[in-house]
């Protein structure tokens, strides 16, 4: 079945460092891809999404590009802030309306 694999954490960075969190997926069709963020004590929030190959999702300085050839959707940010400390989940949806399949999550800790 479909699955999502993302890099193990935790990831610890200093403020203003460059961030990459790797995410690869396995799917039979052409899924939509998502990054969700979960801040401490809160629910999941959609960070960005891409619905077809070569699409780039972006939000709050974060970016991810849907790469069909490498089945990847890596999350990047050029300069992280302390407020970016959270758990990041990569996810896919086989088609509109279906449940999300999540990766295991990557904890990011940013120190000043």
Partner 1 sequence: GAVVSQHPSRVICKSGTSVKIECRSLDFQATTMFWYRQFPKQSLMLMATSNEGSKATYEQGVEKDKFLINHASLTLSTLTVTSAHPEDSSFYICSARSVHTPYEQYFGPGTRLTVT
Binding flag, residue 45, partner 1 (CB under 8 A): yes
Binding flag, residue 105, partner 1 (CB under 8 A): yes
Minimal distance, residue 70 CB to partner 1, in Å: 22
Report the distance separating Cα 39 and Cα 92, nearest Å: 20
**Residues 61-100, interacting with partner 1 (CB under 8 A):** 89, 93, 96-97, 99-100
Six-digit token string for 96: 């509109």
Contacting residue, 22, 24, 51, 72, with partner 1 by CB under 8 A: 51
Binding flag, residue 46, partner 1 (CB under 8 A): yes
Binding flag, residue 43, partner 1 (CB under 8 A): yes
Exposed, middle or buried by CB within 10 Å (0-12, 13-18, 19+), for 43? Answer: exposed
Exposed, middle or buried by CB within 10 Å (0-12, 13-18, 19+), for 18? Answer: exposed
């Amino acid at each position: 079945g479909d699955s999502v694999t993302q890099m193990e954490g935790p990831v610890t960075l200093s403020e203003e460092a460059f961030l990459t969190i790797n995410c690869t997926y396995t799917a039979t069709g052409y899924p939509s891809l998502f990054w969700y963020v979960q801040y401490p004590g809160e629910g999941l929030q959609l960070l960005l999404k891409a619905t077809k190959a070569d699409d780039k999702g972006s939000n709050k300085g974060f970016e991810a590009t849907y790469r069909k050839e490498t089945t990847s959707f890596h999350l990047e940010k050029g300069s992280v802030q302390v407020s970016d400390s959270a758990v990041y989940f990569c996810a896919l949806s086989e088609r509109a309306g279906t449940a999300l399949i999540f990766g295991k999550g990557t904890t990011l800790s940013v120190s000043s």
